Amino acid sequence: MNVAAVLRARWLGTRRALWFRGRPRRGMVGIVLALLMAGTFAATFWVIFGALETAHAPSEARALVLGWAFTFAFVLLALGDLLTVVSAAATAPDLERLLAAPLRPRELLLLKFVETLPRTLGAVAAIALPAAICFASASDGVRPAAFVVALATVWAVPLGLGTALAIPLLRVAPAARLRESVAVLATLAFLGGWLANTFWMPRLLVTTDVAARLRTLPLLPAWSPATWAADALARPGERGLEAFAACIAASLGALALAFGVAERMLTRLQPGAAPAAGTIVRGGSRRARTLTGALLRRDVALFTRDWPVLLDLAARLLLWTLLPLAVLPLTPMPTSELVRDMLVALTLSLGNDIGTRALPLERHALAWARLSPVGGARWVLRRALGVAGLAAGILLAGAALAGAALRLTPPAILDAFLFALPAGATALGSGLLLGALLADPEWRDPRAMLGPGGRTLAALVMLTQGGAWVAASHALGANPVGPGRLAALGAIGAFVVWVLLVVTARTIERREYTAR
Amino acid sequence: MTSAGARPLVIDALTRRFGTVTAVSALSLEVRAGEIVGFLGANGAGKTTTLRCASGLLAPDDGRIEVAGADLEREPRVAKARLGLVPDRPFLYERLSAREFLAFVAALYDLPADAAARRAEELLARLGLAEIASRTIEGYSLGMRQKTSIAAALLHSPPLLLLDEPLNGLDPPSARLLKTLLREHAHAGGGVLVSTHLLDVAERLCDRVVILRAGRVVAEGTLASLRGADHERSLEDVFMELGGSGA
């Protein structure tokens, strides 16, 4: 293999995805987002290690925080790398060609490692690197070699293990299904990490005894490469050296395992040759009598049969609803305001996660909105009816559960629900518009139905709306919203939704179908 | 549904640009009732752009398109109800079965539910999809997807059928069946515009061919008229002379 020529072609492709003909390209958004994420984590770790230094916390405490940061990155990477390898097999347009080329399996694997480097290094650069830098700047005597080896371990071990696991799995399960399952696992891991972090971090920041609070952290598992990486960096003396050696052994062992598995099994892999078999569905002969019925029936089928999307939605809805509980230790608030805020958070998730995905969920079949004699307005209105029905049900259930758990009276629950209703409607309206404008019909990850720019914009819109509604809720405090204000909010919400739906309909009508 | 005597498709001076590139330039053509017209051209000649404009997926920069008597710009819904498109890449919902998908398409075209169900079953049976029609489309092969797309285009028996490389992925029996279906459609008074790279198919199937080069029509007529005095010339010879050397 002419390694230089092959790598040059890869480099050209990567470079053009970032910058082409003097202009930044879509790939640049990913870098900006990774930098933003790294900046956020760096600020967080800076505060934490600074607080530990001020509190003269023992070195064990710092090692523990570093270990948990590495563990978080490690778990994300382990699932992310598994997903990357499975995706490379399921969707990479060139794998078939590479398998047919006179390449040794280890050369092919090396090529894929180089190609996926930006993705596999992402969590290292965004989480582990800021943690290590902040730790090193707040601690004395950190050895440069340990710094490099610790980060290399957090990168190499998940990559090696993910590859070694993915290749045999791909031989027994359809790649598309496997990718969906891993994506769901990644979502659940993120949910677990987020919940733990959300409830622990605000309580750490408001405590006066950081060291005491840190003692409530569970101990790290002793046989984890993330623990060894943290120990290599943070522990002095013999224990640090042992961890250093363990890191090197684990990294080399994981990579050797990956190359060994590739050598035995990679050439027998059949990229994309095992599509999902298709599920037999009942009731297909039942006909909808109206267009609304047909569109709703289609939407129900698409949502309920795409269980990775469904599970991802459920996880996100739960996350956002619980978010106000996380800030409770920092900002005590009346129960009625807390329930309102929880419902507002839920509605924002409905807008951001259901609204923005409602149209992209159709993928290329969205072309029927332009091809069929159904106008954009009818298409969008019926789509909005479908998601509004779903969202209203979720919101009602959320209001009942939150109100009952926090012991609100039924009138207070109704008051909170009616306050959240226009928030939800406007969030759904803006979500539909963003979905119509920025859908990526080629999406493969259920969490990325909009392009990176679209997701960033959707997040900004969501935060802006959330800020406004939470401010309104805060201004009301413990008082009920009352019929007058509710009517005014309802009227404003209805008008905004009408404008958003009209613009969305025009967008759908004007959206040309240019995909190849 | 169709205006009496209206031609299934009239394209008049169609122009479509993508940025600085003119994909189709002042193109005019028509498809008459009962006629199958072959649309030939090298890669990038503008065939797909023309078909997408004619089906309403793309808006023309200039020119006029009339489908069975309805102007596509002024009466888009009427015009779209009168055409069926088989795109080069089918627009399908992966998580619906073929049967569910056809029921959905029938609702889009406002077909009576029972009649649509009968028509869908008839098409599924003819296209050999009946046995897998309750299985979700994600498990279909390329040929099965193409046949599902063909069934969707024929479901409402439109006066105009537009097909973009419809033989892609079809096995020989399916390809023959498609040609039979197109011929039946033309015999029933419909018009067909089919783009293809397979010159032998165009030669045997089409009543007339239109050859496109760099977005312009360079030749149009029956095979006999294109051959001229030399009866030994094949369509391939004609194509290579007029449109085959690139866009």
B188–chain A nearest CA distance, Å = 23
Provide the pLDDT for residue A238: 81
Q: What angle (nearest 5°) sits at the alpha carbon of residue B112, between those of residues A507 and B99?
A: 75
* A177 pLDDT more than 80: no
Average pLDDT over residues A147-163: 92
- Domain end residue (candidates: B137, B157, B177): B157
Cβ neighbours of residue A145 under 8 Å, at least 6 residues apart?
A244
Range of the domain at B63: 1-82+159-247
Taking any CB pair shorter than 8 Å as contact, residues of chain A touching chain B are: 176, 275-282, 284-291, 293-295, 297-298, 301-302, 305-306, 362-365, 367-368, 370-375, 510, 512-516
C-alpha–C-alpha distance, residues B222 and B232, integer Å: 15
Domain-terminating residue out of B157, B179, B200:
B157
Percent of chain A clearing pLDDT 90 (strictly above): 22
CA torsion angle A80 A81 A87 A88 (round to 10): 150
Burial class from Cβ neighbours inside 10 Å (0-12, 13-18, 19+) for residue B230 reads: exposed
Mutate to test the interface with B, among A179, A285, A310, A442 (most CBs of B within 10 A): A285
Residue of B nearest to A441 (CA): B91
pLDDT value for A475: 87
pLDDT of residue A116: 79
> CB A367 to CB B87 under 8 A?
yes
Per residue of chain B (247 residues), give pLDDT as tens: 445 568 999 999 999 999 899 999 999 999 999 999 999 998 889 999 999 999 999 999 999 999 999 999 999 999 999 999 999 989 999 889 999 999 999 999 999 988 999 999 999 999 999 999 999 998 899 999 999 999 999 999 999 999 999 998 899 999 999 999 999 999 999 999 999 888 888 888 899 999 999 999 999 998 888 877 777 777 788 888 776 554 4
Average pLDDT of chain A is: 83
Nearest-by-Cβ selection for A373 from B81, B87, B117: B81
CB within 8 Å: B138 and A176:
yes
How many whole angstroms separate alpha carbon A60 and alpha carbon A53?
12
Read off the amino acid at residue B179. Answer: K
The residue of B93, B124, B156 whose CB has the most chain A CBs within 10 angstroms, and thus the best one to mutate to test that interface, is B93
Structure-token pair, residue A77: 């990477």
Span A85-128, pLDDT tens digits: 777 766 666 777 777 778 888 888 888 888 778 778 887 888 89
Nearest residue in B to A510, CA atom? B59
Q: Give the closest-approach CA distance of A176 to chain B in angstroms.
A: 10
Q: Is the pLDDT of residue A223 over 70?
A: yes
pLDDT tens by residue, A57-67: 777 788 888 88
Chain B nearest-CA residue for A292: B107
CB contact under 8 A, B107 and A291: yes
Tens of pLDDT, residue by residue over A30-43, are 788 788 888 888 88
* pLDDT the model gives residue B177: 94
**B33 and B149 fall within a common domain:** no
From chain A, pick out residues whose CB is under 8 angstroms from the CB of B139: 275-279
Model confidence pLDDT, tens digit, residues A19-28: 887 777 777 7
- Closest CB to B99 among A284, A362, A370: A284
Task: Tell if the CB–CB gap between B93 and A289 is shorter than 8 Å.
Answer: no
Question: Are B134 and A513 a contacting pair at CB < 8 A?
Answer: no
What local confidence, expressed as pLDDT, does residue A273 receive?
44
Average pLDDT over residues A474-494: 88
Q: A226, A154 in Cβ contact below 8 A? A: yes
Interhelix angle A225-234/A144-172, rounded to 10 degrees, is 170
Domain segments of chain A: what residues? 29-268, 291-510
Which residues of chain B make contact with A301, given a CB cutoff of 8 A?
93, 95-96, 100
Give a three-class secondary structure readout of A333-402. Answer: CCHHHHHHHHHHHHHHHHHHHHHHHHCHHHHHHHHHHHHCCCCHHHHHHHHHHHHHHHHHHHHHHHHHHH
Whether B192 and B240 map to the same domain: the answer is: yes
- B73 and B163 share one domain: yes
Strands A19-20 and A23-24 turn out to be antiparallel
Residue A272 has pLDDT above 70, yes or no: no
Shortest distance, CA B134 to any CA of chain A (angstroms): 5
Query: Where is B86: in which H helix or E strand?
Result: strand B83-86
Residue where one domain finishes, among candidates B98, B131, B157: B157
CB-based contact A287 B117, cutoff 8 Å: yes
Query: How much of chain A exceeds pLDDT 70, in percent?
Result: 89
Q: Is the pLDDT of residue A202 over 80?
A: no
Q: Tell me what pLDDT residue B1 has.
A: 42
Interchain contact, B56 vs A284, CB within 8 Å: no
Is the pLDDT at A207 greater than 80? The verdict is no
Tell me what the mean pLDDT of segment A306-323 comes to: 80
Report the domain count for chain B.
2
Confidence category of residue A81, pLDDT binned at 50, 70, 90: confident
Please report where in the chains the tokens 């406002």 appear, as a residue.
Answer: B110
Using the beta-carbon criterion (under 8 Å), do A364 and B108 form an inter-chain contact?
A: no
Residue A2 has pLDDT above 80, yes or no: no
